[in-house]
A and B are shown apart, each in its own frame.
Chain A
Amino acid sequence: MVLRLRRSRHERVPGFVIPDEQTWTLLGAESAMAGLQLTANPAAARVVLAPDPIPDELAEGVAALRELLPDDVAIDYRALPVPVGTRVRDLRVGTEAPAAGMEHGHGEHDGHGDGDGGHHDMMAIVGDPSADGLIMESIQLSHGPLAAPLPGGLVVDVTLDGDVVAESAIRALLRVEPAGPEPRVPDALTPVAWTVVFAEAVARAGGGSTGSERAWLSLAAVELERAVSHLAWLRSLGRLLDLHPLIEACTRSLAALQASRAILPYDTPHDDWLEAAVGAPDLPDGRDALSDLVKLVTRSRGLRWRLRGRAVLTKAEASSRGLCGPVARASGRAVDGRTDDPRYARLGFDPALGTQGDALARAILRAEEALAAVDLARRALEADACPDAGGVPGGAAVTEGPRGPLSARWTDGRWLLVAAGAEPARRAAADAMVGLEWSAALAVLASFDLSPWSVGA
């Protein structure tokens, strides 16, 4: 037990980030949040950051948020280094391309009941017999879409029996409409992975293959984004649980990765940004911080108290629900798009698998995957000849993103985008929340690492 009295270099101002800090980190704006002490209570915020332009679906949430902010605080709109929902430049299928500039996609409300996305909203007393046959008056609540530290744009409609969740449904509000041969990144939380998928899909649509020395750079970029995504998620989990050692360890690891220019700006032409990418000598710094983080996550008693034994998903259940990504792997279901890829085999890839399938296993698995991702990235950048990834020309391009496989295909004059496992994960999270007390339910929800962007049809 060590009492560390640190001198801080600057004052940390309480701040609130719209839509959430994960988005800002992954879109390259981590440094904008440097002087902020992020808070989930808008009433305590002195600084509010929002992206410019802001997705339409969040408009109501922002309006509700304004009511909760202190009177003398105004929302600070800033242009992110990579705007939300941006198109991938210089990648298009065919010869025609719409001339439009940077636009973000339009949103579609899912029209479920009266979801008016306020901060805490929708109070209604509904009388319904509970499990023991008593008529309980329950609370109906739409938590979100700007309910930090959950991802912004995620709305959880719950019926609370006192403080226990009786029913829950999860909606992802944010959406980017794919239009025309120019691909748009449909999920702002995995921009690099989608860019790589689109590049491959364009190559396939043109009938080409995907092997080249630039393929190593693509792979490294995807892996580094995976690491950053998992770290940003771990940090938001730390904020939810109010576990400061975890938050600080994640911030250190993220800073170390940032220092190696791990976030690749993809608003430059695709051919160029791969060249301007990561410098391998910087990666070992990130690695030390990350291995400390993995040790912290595996040994942390606090995390174990909160997450052990919560929302256990067995292997069979993961298969039957169609889950992918770290959620499935933590249950023991070995579904990883990288296992069949010869490039990853060349790098010595070994998928991390968990056994318990509970929330703690998911957290530990993501931390280990982040560390493995940094190792893979370094090896990819140091390797030379790249084997061909294989695959059918004209078929779908698939990449394993941080939350599951992402695939894109250009057919019949439109893009077919699939983020497998996203909707099953939302349903699994909603089902897992039922019967748990509110804080346990939120921890379980966070452990699924849901994306608030709905992709596909």
Chain B
Amino acid sequence: MSTLTPLGVLAVALGGAGCVAVLECVVAGTRLAPATMARLASTTVRQPLRRPATYDSWLFHLAPGLLLIAAVMALATVPWAPGFRGVDFQAGVILFGGALAYVTPAVFMAGWGVGTPLGVVGGFRWLALMLAYAMPLAMVVTAVAAPAGSLRPSDIVEVQHAVPMALVQPLAFALWLPAIVAVCFLPPFDLPQADSELGGGAFAGYRGLDAAIVWLAQRVLLVAVSGMTAALFLSGWHGPLLPPAIWMAVKTVGVATLVLWAGRRLPRMEVDRTLALAWKVANPLAIVAIVIAGALTLAFYR
């Protein structure tokens, strides 16, 4: 970790967000129009900030910034290459979850701060969604860390040099994927901002720079969770022929594309059914996944 690593993380954040924007166009089948995107971006930023009078000013204006900070902090924990491992913290996966935890107050602040009924409903729906995804996410992380005997993401990458964790623990992988889509509040889990049900929901009150930051934060979140998926489940930078960083990029892009594509095919999930699924199915299965991981560790990873 050199002094330039924070800058590197920021560069990955911004570059990654741009890549995700391109991926969205590809997955949706719309034409890439860089000129239009640039024009949209500049129009958005050149607008005045808008806030509804029925607001809680601090919460309303702090939410986008907090969301972006949470996203970039989560991105910082992802190891991209043997030479560029982000923060490379000994308890990196916990830090990843901890950074993602700040998304929750940010989204709720956005919904509560705007003060419109559907905005507040959007905030509450996000809380319900968080109660659903948080536990499977944390438990699956444990299941993946146990074979590596370490909570450092790069150690988990190293232990997969032969076989990716997705093949060894498919149950854990199947539980992880919906959880990370929920963290990014992307379809089918775009409950807080559901366009068709809440008319924009928790983020409807934002214009201009605030809206741009929320957009950016969501894309950076996707990059962060895709990168962590590639690191924890898809062997990270291991792979024949290509350099490690390229492999990580390919795998990250693959996961992001999968997430975006699934979002277009599936309808939006409902809060009560999501909670029921999470606590009646996903959490028991996550416990089973930890038990399986323990057995696998004893058998193969010692």
Contacts and interface: CB of A to CB of B under 8 A. Distances in A.
Interface string A285-306: 0000000000000000011011
Contact of A120 (B118, B194, B270): B118
A123 interface: yes
Contacts of B197: 240, 438-439, 442
11 contacts: A3-B257, A39-B195, A40-B195, A41-B195, A139-B121, A140-B117, A163-B121, A243-B267, A305-B269, A306-B270, A438-B125
A44 B195 contact: yes
B261 A437 contact: no
Interface string B73-89: 00000000000000000
Contact of A12 (B30, B43, B115, B196): B30
Contacts of B267: 241-243, 302-303, 305-306
B36 interface: yes
B54 interface: yes
Interface in B130-174: none
Given A11-B33, A302-B266, A242 B121 contact: no
Contacts of A72: 43
A302 B264 CA distance: 11
A204 B115 CA distance: 57
Contact of A163 (B116, B187, B271): B271
B87 to A, nearest CB: 34
B15 interface: no
A323 interface: no
Contact of A11 (B36, B115, B125, B199): B36
A437 B36 contact: no
Interface in B188-217: 188, 190-191, 194-200, 204, 207, 211
Interface string A134-146: 0000011100000
Interface of A: 3, 5-8, 10-12, 37, 39-44, 68, 70-72, 119-120, 122-123, 139-141, 147-149, 160, 162-163, 239-245, 302-303, 305-306, 437-440, 442-443
Nearest to B191: A439
A241 B197 CA distance: 8
A305 B270 CA distance: 9
B47 A8 contact: no
Contact of B120 (A7, A139, A147, A302): A139
Nearest to A39: B195
B268 interface: yes
A41 B205 CA distance: 11
Given A242-B195, A302-B267, 10 more contacts: A5-B26, A37-B30, A40-B195, A40-B196, A40-B199, A41-B199, A71-B47, A140-B117, A242-B188, A242-B196
B280 interface: no
Contacts of B190: 242
B29 interface: yes
A283 to B, nearest CB: 28
Given A3-B261, A241-B268, A242-B268, A141 B118 contact: yes
Contacts of A8: 29-31
A244 B268 CA distance: 11
A123 B268 contact: no
Interface in B12-53: 26, 29-31, 33, 36, 43, 47
B194 A439 contact: yes
Contacts of A148: 196, 199
Contacts of A41: 195, 199-200, 204
A131 B119 CA distance: 24
A439 B271 contact: yes
Interface centre among B118, B187, B191, B265 (most CB of A within 10 A): B118
Contacts of B302: none
Interface string B257-290: 1000100111111111100000000000000000
B196 A239 contact: yes
A59 to B, nearest CB: 19
A242 B189 CA distance: 11
Contact of B199 (A119, A162, A302, A443): A119
A160 B196 contact: no
Contacts of B198: 438
A354 to B, nearest CB: 21
A120 B31 contact: no
A163 B125 contact: yes
A440 B116 CA distance: 20
Nearest to B47: A71
Contacts of A43: 200, 204, 207, 211
B226 to A, nearest CB: 16
Contacts of B194: 242, 439
Contacts of A122: 117
Nearest to B120: A139
Query: Which 9 A-B pairs have CB atoms at the shortest separation, nearest pair first?
Result: A241-B267, A41-B200, A302-B267, A243-B267, A6-B29, A40-B196, A41-B195, A141-B117, A139-B117
Given A241-B267, A306-B267, A306-B270, A44 B200 contact: yes
Contacts of A442: 197
A266 B191 CA distance: 42
B272 A245 contact: no
A134 to B, nearest CB: 16
A142 B195 CA distance: 17
B112 interface: no
Contacts of B115: 123
Nearest to B201: A41
Contacts of A37: 30
B272 A123 contact: no
A52 to B, nearest CB: 24
A437 B197 CA distance: 11
A161 to B, nearest CB: 11
Most buried by A among B125, B196, B270: B196
B108 interface: no
A80 to B, nearest CB: 24
